A and B are shown apart, each in its own frame.
Chain A
Amino acid sequence: MAGIAQGDWLMGVLIQLSLQFLLISFLAFGGASATLPEMHRFLVVQHHWIDDQTFSSLYAISQAAPGPNVLFVALFGWQVAGLPGAICTLFAMCIPAAILALLFEHYASRYPEHRWHYMFRRALAPITVGLVMATALIVMQGVGFSAGPVLLAVVAVWVTLRTKYNPLWLIGLGALLGALGWI
């Protein structure tokens, strides 16, 4: 009985994950990171499947790992429902959107200089900037707004804008300072 109930629970969760990440992928005009707040709303606020701190930690881990940015969705899926969850979130996020891109390529991409193309990008850009800043806010919320993390974030902003160091060095430095208990 318990096995059946658990199986039903898992199937229900997988369907919800797939549908929500499918929807998110079609809202991802500004790249995957701009949809992080929506994933937070769904996974943390609405369903309590992941807590605030784990959400931010999983995002940070994905940033330190190789691969496309979007892979953090696999970690979220994993956290909620194991390997099937990871497969569902990653597939829902990437495959339908890629199919849409192929349809566009097949039928419409012969006219890349179209005016609407340019106008659409210009119109969307400010919204995307807002979403990216919202992403920063939500990851910070998981860490907590105390002095150490805020200071480290400010330093990271400054170094990124002023120097050409690879961001990976900064992430490594953050890990070191944190492991020593200074953050």
Chain B
Amino acid sequence: MADQSAPILPAVVSPPITPWSLFLTFAAMGLQGFGGVMPWARRILVEQRGWVDNREFTELFSLSQILPGPNICNLASILGYRWCGLRGAAAALLGLLGPSALVVLAIGVFYEHVQAHPAVAGAVRGMSSVAVGLVIATGIKMAQTQPRTWRVAALGLASLVAVGLLHWPLLWVLSVLIPLALALEWLASRKVTG
């Protein structure tokens, strides 16, 4: 007899999560994810599989963001680990990266063979121009969520100029800017609360 206090199980019990099912799910996510996998991760994990709820996903997403490294890789390994331990983490990560890496490399090899053709060179030129636009749009969307303060503008401009124009090593730039940003953030939060 089950524990009386146990919550009522949903009518449809999804099959148990195994390393293999993790591999397949994350492989499908990787192969469908055009222009970034994160929206697909939410769609598949929350809406299709019901493996995590929206709140847990959002928490995981922000955790993956503050940890260094590619966000989606962090998310995959943490989720895999929560369900199936180290084998789960390895399965999720391998599923996410393996099949889609093969596809990307195949496209890269194909490109190497045809890049001399003027139409191909032109096509990639056009795609690169659009890619620039997409990156700028991402930057603008991120900037729109920021408070309009001198502090934010100066930090953004400083990293743009140091890395984009002066081509300084990222390690140097971040070792100055991150402590500076944290100090300014701390001062600002003290001013508000105090």
Binding site for B on A (CB under 8 A): 23-29, 31-33, 35, 37-38, 40-41, 45, 56-72, 74-75, 78-79, 83, 86, 90, 93-102, 104-106, 109, 112, 117, 119-140, 142-143, 148-150, 152-157, 159-161, 166-168, 170-171, 173-181, 183
Cα separation A71 to B151 with both chains bound (whole Å): 33
- Of B62, B64, B101, B142, which one neighbours A129 at CB under 8 angstroms? B142
For chain A, what secondary structure do more than half of its interface residues adopt (helix, strand, loop), or is it mixed? Answer: helix
A136 touches B65 (CB 8 A): no
Q: Closest CB of chain A to B183's CB: distance in Å?
A: 9
A68 touches B100 (CB 8 A): yes
- Size class of B's contact patch? 35 or more
Give chain B residues whose Cβ lies under 8 Å from the Cβ of A94: 69-70, 73, 93, 97
Cα separation A64 to B60 with both chains bound (whole Å): 27
Q: Which 3 A-B pairs have the closest CB atoms?
A: A97-B69, A156-B133, A178-B126
- B138 close to chain A: CB less than 8 A: yes
Cβ-closest chain B residue relative to A40: B167
A174 touches B34 (CB 8 A): no
Most central of A23, A66, A86, A128 by chain B CB within 10 Å? A66
- B119 close to chain A: CB less than 8 A: yes
Give chain A residues whose Cβ lies under 8 Å from the Cβ of B63: 104, 109, 112, 117
Cβ-closest chain B residue relative to A72: B104
Cα separation A183 to B59 with both chains bound (whole Å): 43
